[in-house]
Amino acid sequence: MNNTEQSLLNIPANDQISLPDGKVVGSWNGNHIKDLQKEIQRIQNEQKLNGDKRSNYVTKFGVPHQEQVPAHLKDFIAYIIWGVDKSGKALVASRANRIEEVSYISEWAGNSIAQDAKNRAVDPNSGCK
């Protein structure tokens, strides 16, 4: 067992970042979004280098502290919201390479383009899957 694997065993359960198969691969305490960004990018890079299956890549669903994401943004589909820190900053985009204020996302999420996209995604007759 290497040092990284050993340190992952000592992560409090409520701070664990896990993969779809349940394997714990990192941690985030919910305080600072830059810490989450570093961790997600580290995990993504390791997964690519290791040739891991795409079906087991880290997703936002494996990130702790999802209760910090405002309820009205939980189903936001314009781009991935990995997590929100205690100061209202959100880590977004598939490569976890952008940080935005929740207030900005909330304003944008309410515009007609974002609402149309959401409605198409939940409308079974839209052709979107």
Mean pLDDT per 10-residue segment, the chain (129 residues)? 56 92 96 98 96 95 96 85 97 95 83 57 53
pLDDT score of 112? 52
Count the alpha carbons within 13 Å of 113 in the hemisphere toward its beta carbon.
5
Would you give the distance in Å from CA 112 to the centre of its chain? 24
CB 44 within 8 Å of CB 84: no
Residue with tokens 């198409």: 120
User: Domain extents for the chain?
Assistant: 3-122
pLDDT for 1: 46
With a CB cutoff of 8 Å and minimum separation 6, the contacts of 119 are 126
Predicted pLDDT at 129:
46
Question: Which of 5, 44, 49 shows the shortest CA–CA distance to 23?
Answer: 5
CA–CA dist 37, 95 (Å, integer): 9
